[in-house]
Amino acid sequence: MAVDTISENLIAKEDALKRRLRDYGAIAVAYSGGVDSAYLAAMAHEALGDKAHMVLADSPSIPRFEVAQALALAKARGWRLTLIGTQEFDNEEYLKNDGRRCYFCKSELFTKMDAFAKGHGLRVLAYGENADDGLDPTRLGAKAAREHRVVAPLAELGFRKDDIRALSKHHGLPTWDKPSFACLSSRFPVGDRVDVKAMSQVEQAEDALRLLGFRQYRARHHGDLCRIEIDPADFAKVLDGETRRAIIDALTRAGYRHATLDLAGYRTGSTAGR
């Protein structure tokens, strides 16, 4: 590792992480293709080789584009990967979206990972929570992780998001500067029932924004209205005549009657209240 490119503190943290991963002997990692899980997967593979099993969950709440990217990265890196279907949409507690949705989603994932691990003789499950995640009150997955005894080595060793981005860049992971992502169910206001058909509308809207070159965005679903959140630095681009028409056309094809630009810009948890 090139000492002059990252701090000695980060090198020491990463060495500690790899020692901990080797101590596990074998592991199943909840992998999504995001910044944190991709870095954890890379370190698990480096420490354990084929004894590190990456588990990628697939459900209607994950855009096809995200799944394809995650699969491509795992293949390019030679990771041992299993794609599993999760059935959170069969759970009424998840669908009613009362503020606990993330808990039921993660509980379903970890239940499926438990079964996978037992079938492969694995005793340790891990996920990519980092040390900053505990500051976000909208993240309820930690409760499900504790119940299923899923370890969070990045958080436990004090890895912050900036640390993970820096080390990911150092290792050539294309996820190092990937924008934050949350599942499509998060686009519905708390209290509004999650609906698979409406989720398809959201995915179409966000695909359009991505193809138009936006990086940090959300398409918030409010019935027949789509509320677009983007970085305020991109407001001028949205209002450009050609881009604006392309967005309106895409949202119309997705089934929306109205489109609005949220002047507060992109922010996490903006559907938590109504």
Please report the pLDDT score of residue 274 as a whole number.
Answer: 44
Q: Which domains does the chain carry?
A: 8-177 (3.40.50.620), 184-261 (3.30.70)
pTM given for the model? 0.92
Please report the pLDDT score of residue 181 as a whole number.
Answer: 87
pLDDT tens string for the chain (274 positions)? 343 478 999 999 999 999 999 999 999 999 999 999 999 999 999 999 999 999 999 999 999 999 999 999 999 999 999 999 999 999 999 999 999 999 999 999 999 999 999 999 999 999 999 999 876 666 788 899 999 999 999 999 999 999 999 999 999 999 999 998 889 999 999 999 999 999 999 999 999 999 999 999 999 999 999 999 999 999 999 999 999 999 999 999 999 999 999 999 998 765 654 4
How does DSSP assign the chain, residue by residue? Answer: --TTTS-HHHHHHHHHHHHHHHHHSSEEEE--SSHHHHHHHHHHHHHHGGGEEEEEEE-TTS-HHHHHHHHHHHHHHT-EEEEEE--GGG-HHHHTTSS-HHHHHHHHHHHHHHHHHHHTT---EE----TTGGG-TT--HHHHHHHTT-B-HHHHTT--HHHHHHHHHHTT-GGGGPPP---GGGGSPTTSPP-HHHHHHHHHHHHHHHHTT-SSEEEEEETTEEEEEE-GGGHHHHHSHHHHHHHHHHHHHHT-SEEEE-TT-S-TTTTS--
